[in-house]
Amino acid sequence: MKNFLIISAPSGSGKTSICKKILTQDKSIEFSVSCTTRARRSKEKNGIDYIFLSQDEFIKKINNKEFVEWEKIHGNFYYGTLKKTLDYAINSNTKLLLELDVKGAKKIMENYPNNYLSVFIEPPSKDELFKRLKDRGTDSKSTIEKRMERFESEMMHKIHFNYVIVNNKLNDAVKSILKIIN
């Protein structure tokens, strides 16, 4: 059994929305809650959407080698996946959904080569991605610019994934992924 369903995409491509719909439509899958040092958005819950840590707490976990993957993103925020989360899924034979940036996804794929199915979510276009980032209203102009600067390099990683899905319509993308995993 493949314990990990890895969903990755450039920021703003819809991976969070896709992951939430997958979890509501397939109750056999659990969500891997990542750690981050970024500020909590208004609708996010600590321990549900992310484990929100201070920078000092995050760095302590890095030094204790508690992460299977971690990265400093956009110059000021840390994100990471705890080893104990993945070990739990393997030991309990649980299907775990991991929502990751491309570098984090690659690290999981390298460390757990027999345990994953990976899907790269591609936006319909770079212009549409910019519009989505702007319209969601959660990021500053400078944060959006940093996210857009990463777009081309993130897109180059799609060749490393088992599947690539273009997110033109959210429900269609979700249906395609559910078909792949079932």
Rounded Cα distance, 77 and 91, in Å: 31
**Cβ(153)–Cβ(8) below 8 Å:** no
Q: What is the mean pLDDT of the chain?
A: 92
pLDDT at 50: 93
pTM score, whole prediction = 0.89
Alpha helices in the chain (DSSP H): 15-25, 55-63, 83-91, 102-111, 126-136, 141-149, 151-155, 170-181
Percent of the chain with pLDDT over 90: 72
For residue 74, what pLDDT is reported?
67
* Digit-coded pLDDT (tens) for 70-129: 999 867 899 999 999 999 999 999 999 999 989 899 999 999 999 999 999 999 988 888
What number of other Cβ atoms are within 10 A of residue 76's Cβ?
A: 11
Which of 1-5, 112-116, 127-131, 169-173 has the weakest average pLDDT?
A: 127-131
The 34-36 sheet, strands edge to edge: 50-52, 34-36, 77-82, 67-73
Q: Where are the domains of the chain?
A: 4-181
R_g of the chain, CA atoms, integer Å: 16
CA atoms of 11 and 124, how far apart (whole Å): 13
pLDDT digits (tens, 9 = 90+) for 16-38: 899 999 999 999 999 999 999 99
Q: Look at 92 and 146; give whichever has higher pLDDT.
A: 92
Report the C-alpha gap between 13 and 145 in whole angstroms. Answer: 15
Q: What is the pLDDT of residue 27?
A: 95
d(CA 38, CA 54): 8
Fold for the domain defined by 4-181: Rossmann fold (3.40.50)
